[in-house]
Amino acid sequence: MNLKRGQQWCRNIKPEESLIIYESRLFKKWSFRKAFPTSLLNGIRIEFGKSGRISELYGINLVQDFDANDRFPKPSQWMTKLYQAYDTPLNQICIPGTHDSGSYDITTFSDEDPHMWESLKKLFDYYSESYFFTPFKELVRWWAVTQGLNTYQQLSAGVRYLDIRPRKINGQLVTVHGLAGASINNIIMGIKRFLNENPREIIIFHIHEPYGMIQADIDELFQVLYENFGASIAPPQMSPSNSIQQFQNSGYQIIVLSTLDSPVFSGWSTYETLSNLWHNKNRPYPLLESITNNLVYRKNNRLHITQMTMTESPGDLKQGAIPGQPSSLRSFVRTLRYPSGFLRYAANAARSHNKRVNIVTVDFPEDDYIYAACMRENIIDINN
């Protein structure tokens, strides 16, 4: 089918067909863009539309449709409602998560991360010239804030995995992403409030990239967690293969994942219990290919994180100074348009190899239907 500008065409794909997309731009010859195995397009609609980036036309979008007739549980209690009668392992359910969960509190006045990658700092210093002498911290803030909701709001919206990147800055435990974000105390208050209201939900607290943390800082962090959650922290004897019901019936509400050791208490070792690949892809379809390949070969006895986030390049920062182009991480992320469609495609690929999508981390989950997409996958598995 040859689609001309403004033209629409819609029909169901037959199982024996292949979907191969070519593109002709500005009267140039047709060039291959993308081939989709039709077996992985179940529940997906292909839509063509603009993305807002000038380096490449991102017109091929994978879309899931959601409407008011979809019967999903209340986001604040989905574990309680969905799994009260099903003994499903924690590592076999779809869990919404946030990437750099504490970045919502980053401001122009935030302290710099003393362990910011030197290459990243040089990059922002260099491209500040493209932004008409924008102050360094303001430029970093545009590209460092990955979340618009605070911890309590994230959890209330269905998130159950938190990506926590701790530092000790000016005597305070905080999270970072280039600049200092929410304090650990702020995050813990949000978690406590949520769990007091929803005591049978389970939260994964992943201490990630704790650069520069000396043992005294680590012990302080673990002490703060123990003082607030104590016996509610899942011990190492529990595992990702335990069911939600087993955590609930034992009174465990928090799983602490880390590479750290502390005499205060023992959390779960990420080396033994977690697979977490940073895809480092700047384009939507290389990202999707990396996600699906990683899922197909995941280890079923571990928690598995699918990082559904693109990585900005030096060119993206430079183009951000051009009117109409993504000028912040949030506008850059939106050029992927429909992460929920990518999730369905990846879930179809995983299921075809007897695997499941597990933890899905995104930036700004409120901008798409990631919660609904995860719940749809969970309901499909429950019904099967």
* CATH code: domain of residue 121: 3.20.20.190
Q: Is residue 339 part of a domain?
A: yes
Taking residue 196's Cβ as centre, other Cβ atoms within 10 Å add up to 8
Q: Is residue 341 part of a domain?
A: yes
Question: For strand 179-183 and strand 172-177, is the pairing parallel, antiparallel, or unpaired?
Answer: antiparallel
Q: Is residue 246 part of a domain?
A: yes
Residue 108 lies in domain = 75-383
Residue 272 buriedness (CB in 10 A; 0-12 / 13-18 / 19+): exposed
Q: Is residue 58 part of a domain?
A: no
| Cα dihedral across residues 246, 249, 250, 253: positive or negative | positive
Q: Count of domains in the chain? A: 1
pLDDT (tens digit, 0 to 9) for every residue of the chain, 384 residues total?
A: 888 777 788 888 888 888 898 888 777 788 888 899 888 999 999 888 765 555 454 568 899 999 878 899 999 999 999 998 889 999 999 999 999 999 999 999 999 998 887 766 776 766 666 666 677 788 888 889 999 999 999 999 999 999 999 999 999 999 999 999 999 999 999 999 999 999 999 999 999 999 999 999 999 999 999 999 999 999 999 999 999 999 999 999 999 999 999 999 999 999 999 999 999 998 888 999 999 999 999 999 999 999 999 988 877 777 777 776 777 889 888 888 889 999 999 999 999 999 999 999 999 999 999 999 999 999 999 998
Q: Is residue 1 part of a domain?
A: no
Question: For strand 161-164 and strand 95-98, is the pairing parallel, antiparallel, or unpaired?
Answer: parallel
- Alpha helices in the chain, H assignment, sequence order: 78-82, 118-127, 136-144, 151-156, 184-197, 215-229, 244-249, 270-273, 284-296, 314-319, 329-333, 339-351, 370-383
pTM value is 0.94
* CB proximity list for 369: less than 8 A, separation 6 or greater: 64, 66, 340
Both tokens of residue 224? 């703060």
Q: Is residue 153 part of a domain?
A: yes
